[in-house]
Structure 1
Amino acid sequence: MASWRQSANTCHLWPSYTSGLIAGMVNVASTFPINKVIFRQQINGLRFYDAVKQVHKEGLLMLYRGMALPLCQKSVQVGLMYGLFETFYKGLPTGIIADHTCRTIVAATLTGISEAFVATPFERGQSLLQTPAFHGKIKNTLDLRHHLTSVRQWYRGLGAILLRNCSTNCLFFLFRTPLRNALPSPQSRKGQFAVDFTCGACLGGANSTLIYPVNVVKSYQQKQISSSRESFFSSCKTVLKERNYKVRKLYYGVQLNFTRALISWGIINATYETCMTVFNSQTIRKHLY
């Protein structure tokens, strides 16, 4: 415990949390409409054109319905992802876990678990607000409390989110530095932003594509209001049955999801690194310490 506290005190970790928070907010504001179209493809098995047509028909006001929850959820989640990873990585006893790869995997897994317990209620609410069947039944974000009346209902889909977060966090933090080092060395701030954007975009696009079927099952679990205790694997079977056991139908929306992930994680990583540079500059430190 002493070594953990010493690491947390000597390493100024607040920039990681704050930079992640800002990066998450910028990302949601930029990509929410794309995410809504993807969600419609996931829950209804629609092709891209049909999903866009459905969202367009509902109008501009409905386009941003439900953004409050993902804005809070994603900003907090990204802030926790970067901040907790640094906290766990630097706080793990070097005498027990000295190898960089092992420390990264353990820190990323612990971060994914922590994120999941924070993010699941937000994702649950977002899923219901974006589901067309509840447009007339659930008025707004605050009205969710009248429909989700137990902890179990708020945490539906937790298993899928744990699987998604832990696996993608491990891949992201394991390959982030090697990929950045493999890219050309930037000669300017714009060049650095481009490198950070490319690094985040490549990792985000790959991760989101690999884990896409898990998100489809998670969306299926979270789009319903009931006291069902259906497990992740039972939900997988149900989703496959509804789609005539055609695995390719689990990938409806994956193209747009890949595009969104490229943009989203490019924005997140580039914004995070830019904020970290600003927060860690000597000028800022003089005013804060």
Structure 2
Amino acid sequence: MAGSPDNKDEGGLRDPMVRFHSYLHGGTSSLLSTLPTFIVFPVYKTVFRQQIHNTTVQQALGQLFKEGPVKLYRGVAPPLLMRTLTGTLLFGLQDTLLHQLSLSSQNIVFTSALPALAGFGAGMVEAVVFTPFERIQNVLQNSQNDRHLPTLKSVLVRLKAQRPASGFYRALLPITARNALGSSLYFGLKGPVCAVVEAQGLSPVVSSFISGTLTSMAISLTLYPLSVLVANMQAQVGGEVNGVMACWRILWESRQRSVALLYRGGSLVVVRSCITWGIATAIYDRQQKRSGERNTIKQ
């Protein structure tokens, strides 16, 4: 498992292929979880409409039903591509950073926090790389853009004409905070949670799946307000460009200063996260374990 003490054996530290396997396994696990991502995309789009328009589930579904099946999957390409690339970068870079941090750490107490610290760094890099993907996705999913930005090409041209801070990199700061904190919590918690679950007599694969599910559930609910803020900041192109705090104040007022309204769609996020991260975690941990077993036999 990524982030476990087993990764610190001498063979793992010396063999650069172990680092490469982390990138490969991260990409593979995320690629295999793109099918559930595709299946639950209507769920994601329903959540997005709730985040943007402050509607109930029934109202959001009504909007999608009116638009028809042709537009239902408008904007699905960026998350599918981003899902695979994110897994490659996130798992691989976290393991690389963990390896580097482990070499300089002699404190056992501090060592236990290294997976979370490495995850924090990986999340920051992930935010810089993938903010443009999320920006494009949110513009495409906003039905108000359908008329003047009907195609992916038109969206790319329009965003390219903007300054980076208001174009492709709109909402970079809250995305960085969300991804860094989320990755830190994920890599810091999934190992201990998996160990507790496996101690109940469940198989390693099932334990990893439950670990990924529970961890992603907690992270999604905790950081959901940041996702709502990002969606609202990125959905529009042009017009007045407000800063993060100004956008937060506008969002908070539009939700009538109600936490319950701010969390509209949160339950659907849990469903999506449980499916995708549970599967990705189980596949990744299984691949890492097999790779470690093969390296042990070779030695």
Residue from 43, 47, 61 that aligns with 1:34: 43
Inter-CA distance 80–251: structure 2 relative to 1 (3 Å threshold): same
Determine the C-alpha separation between the residues in 1 that align with 2:13 and 2:227: 35
Inter-CA distance 143–27: structure 2 relative to 1 (3 Å threshold): farther
Residue from 8, 13, 31 that aligns with 2:19: 13
- Indicate the residue corresponding to 2:92 in structure 1: 83
Cα displacement (A) at 1:227: 6.5
Residue from 264, 269, 273 that aligns with 1:261: 273
**Identity of matched residues, %:** 27
Residue from 95, 103, 112 that aligns with 1:101: 112
Inter-CA distance 231–41: structure 2 relative to 1 (3 Å threshold): same
Cα displacement (A) at 1:133: 0.6
- Indicate the residue corresponding to 1:181 in structure 2: 195
Cα displacement (A) at 1:230: 2.1
- Indicate the residue corresponding to 1:200 in structure 2: 212
- Indicate the residue corresponding to 1:151 in structure 2: 164
Cα displacement (A) at 1:101: 3.4
Cα displacement (A) at 1:96: 5.4
Cα displacement (A) at 1:11: 5.5
Determine the C-alpha separation between the residues in 2 that align with 1:100 and 1:228: 46
Farther-moved stretch of structure 1 (102-111 vs 159-168): 102-111
Question: In 1, are the aligned partners of 2:102 and 2:114 still within 8 Å (CA)?
Answer: no
CA deviations on 1:134-173 (whole Å, 9 max, x unpaired) are 1222233233222102322100011111111111111111
Flag structure 2 segments of 5+ consecutive residues without an equivalent.
Answer: 1-11
- Indicate the residue corresponding to 1:135 in structure 2: 146
Cα displacement (A) at 1:129: 0.4
- Indicate the residue corresponding to 2:66 in structure 1: 57
Determine the C-alpha separation between the residues in 1 that align with 2:217 and 2:263: 14
Farther-moved stretch of structure 1 (129-138 vs 196-205): 129-138
Instruction: Work out the number of aligned pairs and report it.
Output: 278
Inter-CA distance 97–89: structure 2 relative to 1 (3 Å threshold): farther
Determine the C-alpha separation between the residues in 2 that align with 1:129 and 1:97: 49
Farther-moved stretch of structure 1 (22-31 vs 118-127): 22-31
The amino acid across from 2:233 in the alignment is Q
Determine the C-alpha separation between the residues in 1 that align with 2:69 and 2:28: 25
Inter-CA distance 62–271: structure 2 relative to 1 (3 Å threshold): farther
Determine the C-alpha separation between the residues in 2 that align with 1:81 and 1:229: 30
The amino acid across from 1:196 in the alignment is S
What secondary structure, in the 3-state scheme, does the structure 2 residue paired with 1:136 have? coil
What secondary structure, in the 3-state scheme, does the structure 2 residue paired with 1:52 have? helix
Determine the C-alpha separation between the residues in 1 that align with 2:30 and 2:54: 28
Question: In 2, are the aligned partners of 1:7 and 1:91 still within 8 Å (CA)?
Answer: no
Determine the C-alpha separation between the residues in 1 that align with 2:151 and 2:178: 27
Residue from 161, 170, 174 that aligns with 1:160: 174
CA deviations on 1:111-148 (whole Å, 9 max, x unpaired) are 11100001100000000000001122223323322210
Question: In 2, are the aligned partners of 1:20 and 1:81 still within 8 Å (CA)?
Answer: yes
Question: In 2, are the aligned partners of 1:66 and 1:140 still within 8 Å (CA)?
Answer: no
- Indicate the residue corresponding to 1:247 in structure 2: 259
- Indicate the residue corresponding to 1:121 in structure 2: 132
Determine the C-alpha separation between the residues in 2 that align with 1:97 and 1:125: 44
The reply on whether 1:22 has 2:22 as its aligned counterpart is no
Flag structure 1 segments of 5+ consecutive residues without an equivalent.
Answer: 1-5
TM-score, reference length from structure 1: 0.87
- Indicate the residue corresponding to 1:3 in structure 2: none
